[in-house]
Amino acid sequence: MNHSRSAFGAPSPASLAEQAYEATRQLIFDFELMPGDRFSEAELAERIAVSRTPLRQALQRLQQEGFVQVFPKLGWQVAPLDFDTFDELYDLRVLIECHAARALCEAEQRPLLAELNAQWLVPVAERESEADRVRQFDEAFHGQLVRASGNREMARVHQEITDRIRIVRRLDFTKPARVDATYQEHAKILRAITQRRADEAQRLLKAHIEQSKLEVRDITVDALYRARAGRRHAPAAKATARTANR
């Protein structure tokens, strides 16, 4: 049974809320709604063509994930990017994932490794190149390493970190060189874990995460600069077009 639609074929409230969530999150990810931007529910509802109720549900979910903030009687705001907090979250990632890597090196049964090796130890021609797919694979790689340690609370915290840094982390895969580096570095980490070289696996994993942290900061700052420049130029371009059409 398809639960995404009502008995009359219209999208269900849950489906509309999900659509509103995805559309709003994409506006934030694309910096069309930029960090610090304020907006009302009415404005955004009109922009993404959805009613206020599912939009409010979507915004509450985005608020829980740290993407937006609400100010009573003043409306909503896209959460500013706090790079100090991102740095702390990346540091916490290092601690959790390095612990998991050592646990995986010492584990007797390691069925996960075959699956990860099949995805990441592949010829260049067989690598995924689409940025969002690589991001999903990368998130899955790091999440699987932590879950394989068997510590459920550690896995839960790690997933929360993943959700909170996604807005910047996703940009790490917008450049082909970073995709290639991710495949190469994941392969080295997996080989070290497979051969039970715990110290090497931890060293490689720490270097991999810290390099990603540096890259996403630079890419994010550049993306924000370009988005702000485009926003400044847009009114001038519209004014020029209106003048030309007179």
Are 31 and 106 in a shared domain? Answer: no
Same domain as 105, residue 44: no
Q: What's the average model confidence in pLDDT over 51-58? A: 94
Structure tokens at 179: 């995709």
64 shares its domain with 99 = no
The pLDDT score that the predictor gives to residue 33 is 93
Does residue 40 sit within a domain? Answer: yes
Length of the chain: 246
Query: pTM of the prediction?
Result: 0.77
Cβ-contact 93, 205 below 8 angstroms: no
Radius of gyration of the chain (CA): 21
The pLDDT of residue 246 is above 60: no
| 46 and 69 assigned to the same domain | yes
Q: Please compute the mean of the pLDDT values over residues 143-163 and round it to a whole number.
A: 94
Under 8 Å between Cβ of 171 and 219: yes
Q: Is 36 a member of any domain?
A: yes
The answer as to whether 191 is a domain residue is yes
pLDDT tens digits, 71-91? 988 899 999 988 999 999 999
The CA distance from 242 to 246, in Å, is: 7
Mapped onto helix, strand or coil, the DSSP state of residue 3 is coil
Range of the domain at 140: 83-223
Question: Is 29 a residue whose pLDDT tops 60?
Answer: yes
Q: Looking only at Cα atoms, what is the longest distance across the chain?
A: 77
Asked if the structure places residue 242 within a domain, the reply is: no
**DSSP helix, strand, coil percent of the chain (3-state; round to 5):** 75, 5, 20
- Looking at the fold, whether 107 and 196 belong to one and the same domain comes out as yes
Could you tell me if residue 93 is inside a domain? yes
Do 178 and 138 share a domain, yes or no? yes
* Structural domain total, the chain: 2
246 within domain boundaries: no
CATH of the domain at 190: 1.20.120.530
Question: Do 17 and 61 belong to one domain?
Answer: yes
Task: Please report whether residue 244 resides in a domain.
Answer: no
Residue 123 has pLDDT above 60, yes or no: yes
The band of 11, judged by pLDDT with boundaries at 50, 70 and 90, is low
| Phi, psi values for residue 76, rounded to 5° | -110, 160
pLDDT interval class at 13 (50, 70, 90): low
- 34 domain-assigned: yes
Whether 198 and 107 map to the same domain: the answer is: yes
| CATH code of the domain containing 23 | 1.10.10.10
Digit-coded pLDDT (tens) for 170-204: 888 888 899 999 999 999 999 999 999 999 999 99
Dihedral angle sign, alpha carbons of residues 54, 58, 63, 65: positive
Whether residue 59 is found in the same domain as residue 177 = no
Q: Which two tokens stand for residue 176?
A: 């082909």
Q: d(Cα 22, Cα 231) in Å, to the nearest integer?
A: 23
How many alpha carbons lie under 13 Å from residue 63 in its C-beta half-sphere? Answer: 12
pLDDT band of residue 224 (cuts 50, 70, 90) is confident
Task: Examine the pLDDT at 9 and tell me if it is beyond 60.
Answer: no
Are residues 200 and 150 located together in one domain of the fold?
yes
Average pLDDT score over residue span 88-106: 96
